[in-house]
Amino acid sequence: MTSSATLDLSLELLRQPSVTPVDHTCQTIMAERLENAGFTIEHMRFEDVDNLWARRGTESPVFCFAGHTDVVPTGSLDAWGSDPFAPEIRDGKLYGRGSADMKTALAAMVVASERFTAKHPNHKGSIAFLITSDEEGPSINGTVKVVETLEARNEKMAWCLVGEPSSTHTLGDIVKNGRRGSLNAKLTVKGKQGHVAYPHLAVNPIHTASKAIAELCETVWDHGNEYFPATSFQISNINSGTGATNVVPGTMTSLFNFRYSTEVTADELKARTLEILDRHNVDYDIEWTLSGLPFLTPVGELVNAAKHAIRNVTGVETELSTSGGTSDGRFIAPTGAQVLELGVLNATIHQVDEHVNVADLEPLAEIYEQILEGLLA
């Protein structure tokens, strides 16, 4: 297997066991390379989370590479074909935890920036890196805190490319130009515990909530739009009872999630949910958690630069998508930046034997470099 700059840096990053929120020197490795390329380095640590803000240039517009060095836990090591933190290449594939999500993209970003700045030492605007070790975890002390710091000093990004693994079948076939919002709820339905033989002395919360839950499941919340599918309501947990067959439970707890489009707001979803529960005379408490607002980057400078670069490097005509879970783009988009997600294939993310095609690594660095060419050369 022929070595390459992107592969070599990928291997170095993959050897770091950086399970959330531990960075394990990944950001130091990146920072040393970026500093040598003329970037000013700023380490931002909030609580137990390491973050990196690196910037080359002082002028606007700012193009920012964003991503995360943390990875999800490996699970049972026995299930892996090789040590998840001792990356191996087998049959043209690079195996290791974080190979797809998203250390190879980080390596490609660094290499692309090194090559671009060598060719264009006096490039327009600025290039920046916003890297966190808290994307796979609670996402409390990571990107959101760095963005707050940047906003406080009025340091604005015009464009942000997040290196999340966006591709489906071939490199660059899909880029994410937005994400759905995510609204979570914990619903506690109150009843009265009792003996099943004396139902008149008890109130079964499962029974009282059942019609409301059925209506929530059947409700059409919106029809989506050109960029987003219709809003989805999904119950992820229902818990009730003591485990005994002869006891009417006193409470029922349900967890559910809305993945929602830009056709509705979180407040509208909350109001409609409460209206359904109240109409069915459910006695309840509810706790809401907003994981992320929906965001959308319409076709413009960043999308066009990415599509052009992908076409030049791979010959692929890329498609725009807003599918999938949340990403740290949700914290960056509200600042006014155009945000796009572009990375390697996502087929094995968070799985045992996570891997990427080695042949995709240099082309990804070339795509990133050509995006810089299109916007800052």
pLDDT tens digits, 334-377: 999 999 999 999 999 999 999 999 999 999 999 999 999 999 99
Options 50, 135, 328, 369, the catalytic residue: 135
- Which CATH fold topology does 181-292 show? Alpha-Beta Plaits (3.30.70)
Model pLDDT for residues 3-14, shown as the tens digit of each residue: 799 999 999 999
Q: Is 101 annotated as a binding residue?
A: yes
Predicted confidence (pLDDT) per residue in 121-162, tens digit? 999 999 999 999 999 999 999 999 999 999 999 999 999 999
Q: Does 12 count as an annotated binding residue?
A: no
Question: pLDDT band for position 188 (50/70/90)?
Answer: very high
Q: Where are the domain boundaries for CATH 3.40.630.10 in the chain?
A: 5-179+294-376
Q: Is 226 annotated as a binding residue?
A: no
* pLDDT tens by residue, 20-43: 999 999 999 999 999 999 999 999
136 marked as binding residue: yes
Which amino acid, residue 246? N
Q: For residue range 268-309, what is the model confidence (pLDDT) as tens digits?
A: 999 999 999 999 999 999 999 998 889 999 999 999 999 999
| Residue 131 DSSP SS3 | strand
What is the pLDDT at residue 197?
98
CA geometry: angle at 173 spanning 353 and 346, to 5°?
Answer: 20
Is it the case that residue 246 has pLDDT exceeding 60? yes
Nearest to 94 by CA among 368, 344, 377: 344
* DSSP letter (8 states) at residue 85: T
Q: List all residues 6 or more positions away from 3 whose beta carbon is below 8 Å from its beta carbon.
A: none
Sequence ranges of the chain with CATH classification 3.30.70.360:
181-292
20 CB-side CA count, 13 A: 18
Is 353 among the residues known to form the active site? no
What single DSSP character describes residue 343? -
Tokens describing residue 139: 């996402």
Residue 354 is labelled as binding a ligand: no
CA neighbor of 67 nearest in space, from 328, 369, 375, 294:
328
CATH architecture of 5-179+294-376: 3-Layer(aba) Sandwich (3.40)
Whether residue 1 has pLDDT greater than 70: no
- Beta strand pairing status for 181-190 and 251-260? antiparallel
- Considering the candidates 50, 70, 134, 341, report the single residue annotated as catalytic: 70
Residues paired with 130 in a beta bridge: 53, 66
Confidence of residue 81 (pLDDT cuts 50, 70, 90): very high
DSSP class of residue 39 equals: P
pLDDT score, position 152: 98
In the residue annotation, 341 being an active-site residue is answered as no
DSSP 159-220: EEEE----BSSSTTSEEESEE-EEEEEEEEEE-B-EETT-GGG-B-HHHHHHHHHHHHHH--
pLDDT at 2: 64
